[in-house]
Amino acid sequence: MPITVKMTVNGKAVSRDVEPRTLLVHYLREHLGLTGTHVGCDTSQCGACVVHVDGKSVKSCSMLAAQAEGAAVTTIEGLAAADGTLHPMQEAFREHHGLQCGFCTPGMVMSAVDLLQVNASPSEREVREWLEGNLCRCTGYHNIVKAVLDAADKMRATPQAAE
């Protein structure tokens, strides 16, 4: 029996009738057409599907859409400014070549943004430990870690950029 699931995604109120078994990631990808959030595994290990629900990073493959009823969801599509200016984290990934094939990137960026919400000045070790829930097969993590540390520096220098 379909249920109606409403939430706010990237600042926009949305409502869709879906089967209860619809995962949040499929609600985003299949019902809203927001295909920036990816599915890379089925055991909530890889982190390609990370989005923010009410400001916190979660794996959208391990959450029912119904569980996000009424929540504010931010996906990778909602991170850059309306005029297309990249978020400092996105910019740092570009500057430091923190992505190759791009598949893990949306989840990696969303996870890293959450890290800086929890810890604005992480050490390299803390960045690496936080990112244990995000697998990347291309970069060897080297440039991702560099990007996150640089974004942290830049966002501390201009806190409004964190918005």
Q: For 105, how many CA atoms within 13 A lie in the half-sphere containing its CB?
A: 22
Considering the rule CB under 8 A, would residue 125 count as an interface residue with other proteins? yes
Token reading at 24 = 């949040």
Considering the rule CB under 8 A, would residue 116 count as an interface residue with other proteins? no
User: x/- string (CB under 8 A) for other proteins, residues 55-94?
Assistant: -xxxx--xxx-xx-x-----xxx-xx---x-x---x--xx
Query: In 3D, which of 3, 5, 56 has the Cα closest to residue 28?
Result: 5
Task: Let me know: does 45 contact 132? Beta carbons within 8 Å.
Answer: no
The footprint of other proteins on residues 43-62 (CB under 8 A) is 43-48, 50, 56-59, 62
With CB under 8 A as the contact rule, the residue among 17, 120, 123, 137 that binds other proteins is 137
Dihedral pair phi/psi, residue 7, rounded to 5°: -160, 175
Considering the rule CB under 8 A, would residue 151 count as an interface residue with other proteins? no
